[in-house]
Amino acid sequence: MSTKDWLEKDYYKVLGVSKDARPEDIKKAFRKLARENHPDQNQGDKSAEKRFKEISEANTILSDPAKRKEYDQQRSLFGGGGFRFPGAGGATGGGSTNVNDLFRHATATGDSNLGDIFGNLFGTGPAPRRNTRSPRRGSDVEGEVTIDFTDAISGATVGVQMISEQACEACRGTGAKAGTMPRVCPTCQGSGMQASQAGGVFSVTEPCKDCRGRGMIVDDPCEVCNGSGRGRSSRTMQVRIPAGVSDKQRIRIKGKGGPGENGGAAGDLYVVVHVRPHKIFGRSGDNLTINVPVTFAEASLGATIEVPTLNGAPVKLKLAAGTPNGRTLRVRGKGSTKADGTKGDLLVTVEVEVPDHLSDEARKALDDYAKAVGESNPRAGLFGG
């Protein structure tokens, strides 16, 4: 915020309070005006949007004791008649000095540094004018889609239902569950903006990180719009989901969002992908996982087994004699597609099955086996033996 802005704007008048207003009076006035003029409650109303920005700006200064003190001092020093700015009262007279004349005099007498410094500080030096009809980028649009596990691995083209800018009918745009109301964000006090000091009298205003610029916090979100406050649109768009996408991944599709204004670029489409689980395969990064049951004889003596793959023919996998339960074997190139086009691996975890029923002949054979190998107690180490 420049000093010129401080002198030309009466923040007390913006909030409708007196110059000696108490902090609680300023806070109360701001909250009332912020609710009345909040963009979420006045969609499409440009005058309300402008008014809301002015209210937020005034509150940023007057709610901070240090900034308010500095603001009052600057207005008392420069705004009491000693200086007047172009556009804030026309030509000067009666002993007042036009600040542009002062800077021209400084330059004419060789004090160019003074003219440059004050010219930049008060904004009276050459500066490009803002074009109110300049191109404006379109808004970003969000959508969600649920796909099968196989489509997530191989990629697919799906129809995505867009989320519109219209208020959700269930919560009437509040984003809160029926019977509840959102609360004013304690961080930005409902303005949706945060000001961070950048040194001196200057500050940078950015969307509040806690409420994401809405000014309100929803503790119990609406079940229909998931707290966004926006309704579902009937418009759908065919979107290519890349191979290898993971559950809850957010995909950006450039230029498929809201249209721009005055020749500006379109916004982007963001699609949140939900992946249905597979009954056999799992996933670990770019690798697929599978648990394969084997018999005790196969694990002990060694064997060649067949293992299914997700989108192809089964592969043969050789088990070494004495393969323990839980060992993971790797099949190269049978996993998910990576970002560079290559594929991950298939991780096969061996699960040795123990029969729940034995015939008399099988039981005798196992007894003979135990006697033949002379098995020691495998739990002896647990007792310090």
For 207-217, write each residue's pLDDT tens digit.
Answer: 777 776 777 88
Pick the last residue of a domain from 91, 122, 153.
122
Tens digit of each residue's pLDDT (9 = 90 or more) over 269-326: 888 899 999 999 999 989 999 999 999 889 988 999 999 999 888 999 999 999 999 9
> Is residue 195 situated within a structural domain?
no
Closest by alpha carbon to 333, among 355, 315, 349? Answer: 315
Report if residue 318 sits inside a domain: yes
187 found inside a domain: no
Average pLDDT over residues 81-95: 39
Domain boundary among 275, 293, 310: 275
**Is a pLDDT exceeding 70 seen at residue 189?**
yes
Burial status of residue 253 (CB atoms within 10 A of its CB: 0-12, 13-18, 19 or more): middle
User: For 36-40, 49-53, 225-229, 327-331, which range has the lowest pLDDT when averaged over its residues?
Assistant: 225-229
Q: How confident is residue 75, by pLDDT bands cut at 50, 70 and 90?
A: confident
Report the amino acid identity of residue 240.
R
Query: What does the alpha-carbon distance between residue 292 and residue 348 come to, in Å, rounded to a whole number?
Result: 7
The confidence band for 83, taking pLDDT boundaries of 50, 70 and 90, is very low
What pLDDT score does 219 carry? 87
The pLDDT of residue 248 is above 50: yes
User: Are 338 and 360 in the same domain?
Assistant: yes
The domain spanning residue 315 has which CATH number? Answer: 2.60.260.20
Does residue 266 surpass a pLDDT of 80?
A: yes
Co-location of 174 and 64 in the same domain = no
Q: What is the mean pLDDT of residues 237-259?
A: 86
Bigger pLDDT: 360 vs 130: 360
What is the pLDDT at residue 186? 87
3-state secondary structure 230-251: EEEEEEEEEEEECCCCCCCEEE
**Average pLDDT of the segment spanning 336-348:** 89
Q: Which residues pair with 216 in a beta bridge?
A: 184
pLDDT above 70 coverage of the chain, percent: 75
- The first and second tokens of residue 95, run together, are 């002993």
Q: Is the pLDDT of residue 172 over 50?
A: yes
Per-residue pLDDT at 185: 86
Q: Are strands 141-147 and 156-167 parallel, antiparallel or unpaired?
A: antiparallel
240 and 361, same domain (yes or no): no
pLDDT band with cut points at 50, 70 and 90 for residue 184: confident
Q: Is residue 177 part of a domain?
A: yes
One domain for residues 244 and 345: no
Q: Is residue 193 part of a domain?
A: no
Q: Same structural domain for residues 270 and 145?
A: yes
**Interatomic CA distance for residues 164 and 258, integer angstroms:** 10
CATH label of the domain that carries residue 89: 1.10.287.110
Determine the Cα–Cα distance for residues 277 and 326; give it in Å rounded to an integer: 22
| Structural domain boundaries, residue 47 | 3-122
In terms of pLDDT, which residue wins out, 57 or 44? 57
Above 70 in pLDDT, residue 234? no
Q: Are residues 357 and 242 in the same domain?
A: no
Quick check: is 196 in a domain? no
Q: Is pLDDT above 50 for 92? A: no
Q: How high is the pLDDT of residue 66?
A: 85
Asked if the structure places residue 24 within a domain, the reply is: yes
Whether residues 159 and 115 fall in one domain = no
pLDDT in tens, 5-17: 555 688 888 899 9
Last residue within a domain, chosen from 235, 258, 275: 275
Same domain for 108 and 147, yes or no, is: no
pLDDT at residue 166 in the model: 65
Q: Is residue 254 predicted with pLDDT exceeding 50?
A: yes
In 3D, which of 192, 3, 154 has the Cα closest to residue 85? 3
- Mean pLDDT, all residues of the chain: 77
- Lowest average pLDDT, out of 39-43, 57-61, 356-360, goes to 39-43
Q: Would you place residue 237 in the very low, low, confident or very high pLDDT band (cuts 50, 70, 90)?
A: confident
Q: Work out how many domains the chain is built from and give that number.
A: 3
